[in-house]
Structure 1
Amino acid sequence: MSDTLKSNLERAEHYLERFKQQTTGHYINGEFTLGQGGKEYDNYTPTDNSSLGKVMAGSVEDMNAACEAAEAAFESWSNTPGSERKRLLNKFADRLVERADEIALVESMDCGQAIRFMKQAAVRGAANFRFFADKAPEAQNGLALHQEEHTNYTIRKAIGPVGIITPWNTPFMLSTWKIAPALAAGCTVVHKPAELTPLSAYILAEIADEVLPKGVWNMVNGFGEGVGKRMTEHPAIKAVALVGETATGSHIMRQGADTLKRMHFELGGKNPVIVFDDADFERALDAVVFMIYSLNGQRCTSSSRLLIQSGIRDRFIAALEQRVRNLRVGHSLDPETEVGPLVATEHYNKVLSYFDIAKQDGATTAVGGRRISEAQGNINPAGNYLEPTLFTGANNQMRIAQEEIFGPVLTAISFDTEDEAVQIANDTQYGLSGYIWTENTGRAMRMAKQVEAGMLWVNSENNRNLPSPFGGVKMSGIGRDGGDWSFDFYMETKNVCIAHGTHRVPTLGKR
């Protein structure tokens, strides 16, 4: 064991001790509570499937209390001047940075993501808060539309209490990405974190307790069929933002229908990375490897389908195979680790099942395709470790090309022409993101128009720009995050029309 890993383990144990010693509960109306009528469950680390402590799965009564608290606090918070919300959210960001070491180590142990990716989590989360904090004073601003005899102008007002449901893959960062604009807009929040990764949400609630007025931020742990369902049905909640699976989005849309909730969904993806013969070979190779094997492949925007043009197919696949073999699998707190353990045993088994499915479909397992069941290096075989995997010789009708595996698994498919690449890229129910590698500017422009996805990157990996819209089409979601698009979701727009006193008013019944 390296000295750095040993140090990380010791510091992580220090931060995790309190979670092991007491049950992790909820934060409702400015109080940390175990609620009423909930049931405890164990929270396991994927590094060795040992318990990180007990978590209280909330009850319907707990979610009712959180929604009511958010409703009671809404008027005051929405009327708080934007300049004051800006100050408080920047203070929140400061506290995130101060607790950066704790957040990174706890998150890495809770969800299995390699510390090399989590060590900047607090900094990115703080950047999310600062970006939207700075926009808070202008959030209510609209447009002025001048006509000859009337002037129309728009103003925006916070929609009300909102529900935020976040996933288990990068729970901390995605929580800040969703909650920061809601607070900046003047909404109050009820947060339901993923039941598999509750710890960083508790840290966020602790910071909220220090910084924000009572009832503005509420957090309830638990399962979708219980507290999640109640949140999406509760009449006080005016909008729901979800990052999760497509099937979950469908359930939530049905549950929110009776109260006509506004919905924002960032859902699944089976994203293509399209590499043409003229691509910058090494840069494309770097991006292909990074965008599927980083974050354990548990990323909604992962480029899980490689579409490789036939002219460079053999050379590119050979280089890719070597890179995949070289990936370092290990304990999530080892700074040398590139691929850590998958988040939970159920999900781990799901990913493993695709190794047999690939064989049944007739694909070739060029690299990997096995669980790691023996101790090696710092890997504990009781954890959820598998070999990074590359399937070749695939076609787009195979399940490994159509279904979201959500692990460090890449499916390579060959194509000959630009039109064929477009057809394969679009032949999926999903449409979250896509990546195009070519030195031909005209081709890049054509592909950007033709590929069905909410986001496209040309000659780049996923580069997040906070003012830009983020979201998918088809079964990958509804709505956009980022910049002013976030405020469009969390706020209602009102039009005001003022007459100049010069137009003719129609008359009826005048004698």
Structure 2
Amino acid sequence: MTQTAANPNHDLARQLRQSRLSGGLQHFIGGQWSDSHGGETFETHSPVDNAVLTTVASGDATDIDRAARAAHDAFQMWREVSGQERRKILHRVADLIEARAQEIAVLESIDTGQAIRFMKSAATRGAENFRFFADRAPSAADGQSLPAPGFLNYTLRQPIGPVGVITPWNTPFMLSTWKIAPALAAGCTVVHKPAEWSPVTATLLAEILDEAGLPKGVHNLVHGFGESAGKALTEHPLIKAVAFVGETTTGSHIMRQGADTLKRVHFELGGKNPVVVFDDADLERALDAVVFMIYSLNGERCTSSSRVLIQDGIYDEFTAYIAERAQNIRVGDPLDPEIEIGPLVHPRHFEKVMGYFDQATKEGATIAAGGERVGQEGNFVSPTLFTGARNDMRIAQEEIFGPVLTAIPFADEADALALANDVQYGLAGYLWTNDLTRAHRFAQALEAGMVWVNSENVRHLPTPFGGVKNSGIGRDGGDYSFDFYMETKNIAISLGTHKTAKLGVGQPQPHKDRADQRLAE
């Protein structure tokens, strides 16, 4: 493991541990910081050495109920706040995020183990998310004019109500802003339950939202475990929708838990995303993208390209290049700006990832790079490449969610497409080829919610983000987010020219005079 010299990030980390973490983390409910109703707490640990970082209030159904009621009460006011005023508040949030970006990045690194070089951009992305949806707040309610004979139909959108947001432990600050910003812009109120493995920056986000002038109760934060706080949130009758990012099995539990109250759900779940490299591709650029999309962010990202499908003729050469690059990746202290991979988030996840190394060799794959622990403490894993793999192996089918890449050869386009689609997931796909016709044909046939051609994952915020199959339900981004957080209402205005069928007027009487007949009509 790379050893690091003293750097300013260590000094800031020490200051933040003393000033922010020494007293523990509380809930934020109805505009007030509070301990759990029953006083329960849990500990969160540093992935670098698994030492205790701080204690965290552990919420239960009572705490969730308080937060849901605060969100419900605040919704009656927040829904009436103009889009222009919501825009101002959310822009202030973005300003404060930018002002505290270094603090956010350091806290995120020490809490999750993510390299500081990526967490700086994650904080910036959080500010971008708030600015993007802030600018759309004034038009969030806009609909369409749909005239018909005798009627003017028009649509409008209205906020659905209090929503639950359950966020994951990988890049938690950025992903929290990705969910919370559109909910607030739409006029919804929020109860946020962050992952128990990385709760620190959720507290900072709550502070920022409060400082920006968000009215009390519009945003509420309850820490806790999925089986207690999470379950209570997904079952609470005042919560109208749940947005969740995380593991597919958990998404199934949330759907069941919300069934009795007919909750709307939005899920961004797991992935086993293919990157397909044809022999006519720009191989140098493809190599950069393949290495970046699996080994950056410790491999702990839903859109990572964790299966690389390589055409037969270039398989050996291309995998040799990947192995060389993987062996040169710098692993170590996540606060060191030179480090590329830090420790995995939690010992349980570390053990899960390590377990795939023996599994790979049992199934007949070769460990061409990595496949071992790095150092004697903490959750450090070497960047790993499996070669000689088949698509029916567990390493090719299951989401490992670490810096682990499985390389599979293919013969032709039909073979590549069959392999790419032969998994339960369908979040993202990546395609490298200089054949324009094939690029379109393959991208359209790939079972994935998002496809990048000759590129790594480069997000454009107005575009839809989400998956198919076991990778999720619904889409984020642009107006797609408002489709989830808002109800579309149609209003039909009669122009007075249509005729309504008559019932209950009896048989017509021929001897009635014209006045009576007109009255009857």
1:238 aligns to what? 240
2:290 aligns to what? 288
User: What secondary structure, in the 3-state scheme, does the structure 2 residue paired with 1:195 have?
Assistant: coil
Aligned with 1:471 (options 466, 472, 479): 466
Is 1:448–2:443 an aligned residue pair?
yes
Residues 183-208 of structure 1, C-alpha deviation per residue, up to 9 Å, x if partnerless?
Answer: 00000000000001011000001112
For 2:487 and 2:188, how far apart are their aligned partners in 1?
11
Contact 1:195 1:222 in 2 (8 A): yes
Contact 1:172 1:200 in 2 (8 A): yes
Is 116-125 or 489-498 further displaced after alignment?
116-125
In the TM superposition, what is the alpha-carbon distance from 1:49 to its structure 2 partner? 1.0
2:348 aligns to what? 346
User: What secondary structure, in the 3-state scheme, does the structure 2 residue paired with 1:366 have?
Assistant: strand
Q: How does 1:31-50 map to 2 (within 5 A)?
A: 31-50=32-51
In the TM superposition, what is the alpha-carbon distance from 1:283 to its structure 2 partner? 0.4
For 1:16 and 1:63, how far apart are their aligned partners in 2?
27
2:73 aligns to what? 72
Unpaired runs of 5+ residues, structure 1, are 374-380
For 1:385 and 1:328, how far apart are their aligned partners in 2?
11
In the TM superposition, what is the alpha-carbon distance from 1:504 to its structure 2 partner? 2.1
Q: Whose radius of gyration is greater, 1 or 2? A: 2
1:503 aligns to what? 498
For 1:44 and 1:385, how far apart are their aligned partners in 2?
14
For 2:38 and 2:439, how far apart are their aligned partners in 1?
56
Is 402-411 or 148-157 further displaced after alignment?
148-157
Residues 334-377 of structure 1, C-alpha deviation per residue, up to 9 Å, x if partnerless?
Answer: 1111111000000000000000100111100000101113xxxx
Contact 1:19 1:52 in 2 (8 A): no
In the TM superposition, what is the alpha-carbon distance from 1:13 to its structure 2 partner? 1.3
Aligned with 2:413 (options 415, 418, 434): 418
2:147 aligns to what? 146
TM-score between both structures, scaled by the size of structure 2: 0.95
Is 325-334 or 147-156 further displaced after alignment?
147-156
Is 1:256–2:261 an aligned residue pair?
no
For 1:209 and 1:368, how far apart are their aligned partners in 2?
45
1:311 aligns to what? 313
1:85 aligns to what? 86
In the TM superposition, what is the alpha-carbon distance from 1:140 to its structure 2 partner? 0.5
Is 38-47 or 303-312 further displaced after alignment?
38-47
In the TM superposition, what is the alpha-carbon distance from 1:449 to its structure 2 partner? 1.0
2:482 aligns to what? 487
Residues 27-54 of structure 1, C-alpha deviation per residue, up to 9 Å, x if partnerless?
Answer: 0000011121142221101011111111
| Equivalent AA in structure 1 for residue 407 of structure 2 | A
Is 105-114 or 34-43 further displaced after alignment?
34-43
User: What secondary structure, in the 3-state scheme, does the structure 1 residue paired with 2:470 have?
Assistant: helix
Contact 1:434 1:456 in 2 (8 A): yes
1:336 aligns to what? 338
In the TM superposition, what is the alpha-carbon distance from 1:19 to its structure 2 partner? 3.8
Is 1:277–2:279 an aligned residue pair?
yes
1:186 aligns to what? 187
TM-score between both structures, scaled by the size of structure 1: 0.97
For 1:224 and 1:282, how far apart are their aligned partners in 2?
43
1:57 aligns to what? 58
Contact 2:122 2:173 in 1 (8 A): yes
1:228 aligns to what? 230
Residues 207-237 of structure 1, C-alpha deviation per residue, up to 9 Å, x if partnerless?
Answer: 1222210000000000000000000000000
For 1:298 and 1:260, how far apart are their aligned partners in 2?
32
1:121 aligns to what? 122
Q: How many residues align?
A: 503
User: What secondary structure, in the 3-state scheme, does the structure 2 residue paired with 1:501 have?
Assistant: coil
For 1:144 and 1:60, how far apart are their aligned partners in 2?
44
Aligned with 1:392 (options 387, 393, 397): 387
Contact 1:38 1:59 in 2 (8 A): no
Is 55-64 or 80-89 further displaced after alignment?
55-64
For 1:18 and 1:396, how far apart are their aligned partners in 2?
50
For 1:18 and 1:196, how far apart are their aligned partners in 2?
21
2:514 aligns to what? none
Contact 2:43 2:56 in 1 (8 A): yes
1:355 aligns to what? 357
For 1:2 and 1:383, how far apart are their aligned partners in 2?
15
1:376 aligns to what? none
For 2:25 and 2:361, how far apart are their aligned partners in 1?
43
1:377 aligns to what? none
For 1:266 and 1:77, how far apart are their aligned partners in 2?
27
In the TM superposition, what is the alpha-carbon distance from 1:2 to its structure 2 partner? 5.2
User: What secondary structure, in the 3-state scheme, does the structure 2 residue paired with 1:151 have?
Assistant: strand
Is 392-401 or 8-17 further displaced after alignment?
8-17
1:301 aligns to what? 303
RMSD (Å), alpha carbons: 1.0
User: What secondary structure, in the 3-state scheme, does the structure 2 residue paired with 1:410 have?
Assistant: strand
For 1:19 and 1:475, how far apart are their aligned partners in 2?
38
In the TM superposition, what is the alpha-carbon distance from 1:508 to its structure 2 partner? 2.2
Contact 2:160 2:240 in 1 (8 A): yes
Q: How does 1:93-104 map to 2 (within 5 A)?
A: 93-104=94-105
- Runs of at least 4 residues of structure 1 off by over 6 A? none
| Equivalent AA in structure 1 for residue 119 of structure 2 | M
In the TM superposition, what is the alpha-carbon distance from 1:71 to its structure 2 partner? 0.4
Residues 71-93 of structure 1, C-alpha deviation per residue, up to 9 Å, x if partnerless?
Answer: 01001001101100000000111
| Equivalent AA in structure 2 for residue 209 of structure 1 | D
Contact 2:4 2:333 in 1 (8 A): no
Sequence identity (%): 62
Contact 2:344 2:402 in 1 (8 A): yes
| Equivalent AA in structure 2 for residue 464 of structure 1 | R
| Equivalent AA in structure 1 for residue 42 of structure 2 | Y
User: What secondary structure, in the 3-state scheme, does the structure 2 residue paired with 1:190 have?
Assistant: strand
Contact 1:19 1:53 in 2 (8 A): no
| Equivalent AA in structure 2 for residue 140 of structure 1 | A
For 2:272 and 2:40, how far apart are their aligned partners in 1?
36
Contact 1:27 1:220 in 2 (8 A): yes
Is 1:371–2:366 an aligned residue pair?
no
For 2:484 and 2:52, how far apart are their aligned partners in 1?
38
Contact 2:31 2:210 in 1 (8 A): yes
Aligned with 1:401 (options 396, 403, 424): 396
1:378 aligns to what? none
| Equivalent AA in structure 2 for residue 313 of structure 1 | Y
